[in-house]
């Protein structure tokens, strides 16, 4: 399953990216000499018209070889200089096209990856619906964040299961959100069970309703689903599957309780009691101090983080109309793009360890796990990875699309291109940087495999 899922993910997304370059090149009259899925030596292929279509030996990328584009570094990656291709310097050569046309060809791969992500998210939203947490069990209500007219919600005991909000039955957490946001203005009754009870609150304006919703968290058992490499939790020896049962001598029943204590202790050591394989153990962890925005007030704050993710409830899907599905696809594409850009920012500023980088091994593990969860989860994973591929290709590293766009930007400002020798030198530097990043990511994967 893992191998097949990895082949599908890499094959489809590489094809989509290179198809973007191919179609853009054809749209502005640039000759395409080779369309390759994979890098290095040719395994097999065929020629149609002026283009050779190839499957190459190393399945870690692909390329579209454009006529008249001088790039000896890419020729090395492609498996050596290709024989039998037209050499001239005609009007269909890439380097003879205006800057805007070349920028369009270079950026089209990234645009295709973003378009694929948007389409995949939209298809999932239209075919299955909007993903929601498949629970109505209440974990925590932050009473201090509630408007005065809704303060009675803090009386609902943790662990209670919500049954209805006003006249609306709730069957997953999305219903809880919509019930709060869409209930008629005035008194609204929240009914629950385990234990049986109800509370009535006053629902008024939109902002007050959003404050109410943000103050409520669904129940999540304090079980670790994942540990980010190089983080305080990783260094302390916390592992996937560990159940947090206490912190500093106090008991922990839910994940939000654990998160709250961690956030309150930046740069302060805490004793975390864990249940692992039927036995109890204690780990000393010092949360990193991280700048964040308060989810209720929006004010900046410093919180603690240790780098763990919880085991969440399953996913349920709420139906969406076609227009809503398109909006959901756009919103998720935007949100994931912002998330990945934030990760890169934190990586550059040192707030996230380089140990979080992963290579083909991590991609394979994630692909297999997503495929095991079913088609909608797998499609959403492919969409996420497609956005990741697009953003990474925009990095200003020569040999990547972003590096070529930098060269074109310099040409647009100077009024003449960099010399072939200058581009070659920078491309060689970029190639070394890229190999270094890949080696670091692969090393991280092996360290994870051996539990280091």
Judge if 33 and 81 occupy the same domain: yes
pLDDT in tens, 298-331: 678 889 999 898 888 888 888 889 999 999 999 9
Judge if 199 and 258 occupy the same domain: no
Question: Which of 81-95, 266-280, 410-424 shows the lowest mean pLDDT across its residues?
Answer: 81-95
Q: 183 near 105, Cβ under 8 Å? A: no
Q: Is the confidence at residue 288, as pLDDT, over 50?
A: yes
Place of tokens 């973003």: 114
Catalytic residue of the set 18, 52, 217, 332? 18
pLDDT in tens, 189-219: 999 998 999 999 999 888 899 999 988 989 9
**Residue 332 in domain:** no
Q: Which two tokens mark 377?
A: 């989860």
> Annotated catalytic, 18?
yes
Question: Residue 193, Cα to own-chain centre: how many angstroms?
Answer: 36
Q: How far apart are CA 261 and CA 247, in angstroms?
A: 8
Q: How far apart are CA 426 and CA 407, in angstroms?
A: 10
Q: How much is the average pLDDT of 349-370?
A: 74
Q: 61 to each of 5, 15, 35, 55, how far by Cα in Å? A: 16, 9, 12, 11
**Residue 307 in domain:** yes
Question: Which of 81-95, 249-263, 272-286, 294-308 shows the lowest mean pLDDT across its residues?
Answer: 81-95
Residues whose CB is less than 8 angstroms from the CB of residue 451 and which lie 6 or more positions away in sequence, other chains included: none
Q: How much is the average pLDDT of 127-142?
A: 89
Residue 243 sits in a domain of what CATH number?
2.30.42.10
**Residue 375 in domain:** no
Q: Is the confidence at residue 86, as pLDDT, over 90?
A: no
Q: Is the peptide bond before 195 cis (omega within 30 degrees of 0)?
A: yes
**Phi, then psi, of 20 in degrees rounded to 5:** -60, -50
Q: 47 to each of 34, 36, 44, 84, 103, how far by Cα in Å? A: 9, 12, 11, 12, 27
Q: How far apart are CA 173 and CA 30, in angstroms?
A: 52
**Where would I find the H helices in 132-288?**
173-182, 206-215, 232-236, 255-263
Sign, CA dihedral 79-81-83-89, equals positive
Judge if 139 and 195 occupy the same domain: yes
**Residue 377 in domain:** no
The reported pLDDT for the residue numbered 424 is 80
Overall domain count for the chain: 3
pLDDT in tens, 27-76: 999 999 999 988 888 888 899 988 999 998 877 788 888 887 765 555 55
Of 23, 33, 31, the residue nearest 111 (C-alpha): 23
Q: How far apart are CA 390 and CA 358, in angstroms?
A: 16
Q: Which two tokens mark 343?
A: 């990760």
420 vs 205, residue with greater confidence: 205
Burial class (CB in 10 A: 0-12, 13-18, 19+), 439: exposed
Judge if 152 and 169 occupy the same domain: yes
Q: Is the confidence at residue 338, as pLDDT, over 70?
A: yes
- Of the pLDDT bands very low, low, confident and very high (cuts 50, 70, 90), residue 261 is very high
Angle between helices 375-393 and 99-127 (to 10 degrees): 160
Judge if 152 and 204 occupy the same domain: yes
The reported pLDDT for the residue numbered 362 is 73
**Residue 236 in domain:** yes
Judge if 207 and 281 occupy the same domain: no
The reported pLDDT for the residue numbered 70 is 62
Which of 186-200, 311-325, 366-380, 434-448 ranks highest by mean pLDDT?
186-200
Residues whose CB is less than 8 angstroms from the CB of residue 235 and which lie 6 or more positions away in sequence, other chains included: none
Q: 266 near 302, Cβ under 8 Å? A: yes
Which of 315, 333, 350 lies at the terminal end of a domain, its last residue?
315
Judge if 146 and 213 occupy the same domain: yes
Which of 286, 315, 344 lies at the terminal end of a domain, its last residue?
315
Q: How far apart are CA 45 and CA 67, in angstroms?
A: 19
**Residue 117 in domain:** yes
Judge if 155 and 235 occupy the same domain: no
Which of 218, 252, 280 lies at the terminal end of a domain, its last residue?
218
Judge if 173 and 117 occupy the same domain: no
**Residue 425 in domain:** yes
**Residue 341 in domain:** no
Judge if 181 and 295 occupy the same domain: no
Judge if 214 and 228 occupy the same domain: no
Of 214, 248, 40, the residue nearest 143 (C-alpha): 214
Q: What's the predicted TM-score (pTM) here? A: 0.77
Q: How far apart are CA 398 and CA 431, in angstroms?
A: 7
Q: Residue 190's domain spans which residues?
A: 133-218
Mapping DSSP onto H, E and C, the string for 51-113 reads: EEEEEEEEEEEEEEEECCCCCHHHHHHCCCCCCCCCCCCCCCCHHHCCHHHHHHHHHHHHHHH
Judge if 308 and 397 occupy the same domain: no
């Amino acid at each position: 399953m893992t191998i097949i899922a990895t082949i599908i993910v890499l094959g489809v997304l590489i094809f989509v990216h290179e198809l973007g370059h191919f179609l853009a090149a054809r749209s502005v009259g640039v000759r395409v000499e080779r369309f390759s899925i994979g890098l290095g030596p040719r395994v097999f292929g065929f020629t149609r018209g002026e283009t050779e279509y190839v499957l190459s030996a190393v399945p870690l990328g692909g390329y579209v070889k454009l006529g008249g584009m001088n790039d000896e570094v890419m020729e090395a990656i492609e498996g050596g200089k290709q024989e039998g291709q037209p050499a001239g310097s005609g009007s269909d050569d890439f380097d003879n096209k205006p800057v805007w046309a070349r920028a369009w060809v270079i950026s089209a791969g990234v645009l295709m990856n973003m378009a694929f992500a948007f389409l995949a998210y939209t298809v999932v939203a239209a075919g299955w619906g909007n993903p929601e947490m498949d629970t109505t069990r209440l974990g925590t209500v932050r009473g201090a964040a509630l408007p005065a007219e809704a303060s009675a919600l803090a009386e609902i005991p943790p662990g209670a299961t919500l049954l209805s909000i006003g006249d609306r039955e709730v069957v997953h957490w999305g219903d809880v959100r919509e019930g709060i946001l869409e209930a008629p203005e005035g008194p609204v009754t929240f009914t629950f069970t385990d234990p049986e009870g109800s509370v009535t609150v006053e629902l008024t304006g939109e902002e007050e309703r959003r404050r109410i919703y943000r103050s409520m968290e669904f129940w999540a058992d304090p079980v670790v689903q994942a540990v980010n490499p190089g983080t305080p939790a990783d260094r302390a020896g916390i592992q996937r599957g560990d159940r947090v049962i206490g912190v500093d001598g106090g008991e922990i029943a839910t994940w939000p309780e654990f998160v709250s204590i961690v956030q309150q202790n930046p740069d302060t050591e805490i004793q975390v009691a864990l249940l692992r394989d039927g036995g109890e153990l204690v780990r000393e962890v010092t949360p990193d101090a991280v700048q964040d925005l308060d989810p209720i007030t929006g004010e900046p704050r410093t919180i603690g983080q240790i780098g763990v993710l919880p085991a969440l409830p399953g996913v349920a899907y709420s139906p969406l109309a076609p227009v809503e599905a398109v909006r959901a696809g756009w919103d998720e594409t935007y949100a994931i793009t912002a998330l990945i850009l934030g990760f890169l920012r934190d990586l550059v500023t040192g707030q996230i360890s380089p140990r979080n980088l992963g290579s083909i091994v991590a991609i394979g593990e994630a692909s297999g796990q997503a495929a095991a969860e079913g088609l909608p989860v797998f499609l959403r994973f492919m969409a996420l990875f497609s956005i990741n591929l697009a953003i990474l290709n925009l990095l200003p590293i020569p040999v990547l699309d972003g590096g070529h766009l930098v060269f074109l930007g310099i040409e647009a400002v100077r009024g003449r291109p960099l010399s072939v020798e200058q581009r070659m030198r920078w491309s060689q530097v970029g190639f070394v940087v890229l190999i270094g990043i890949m080696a670091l990511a692969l090393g991280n994967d092996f360290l994870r495999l051996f539990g280091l």
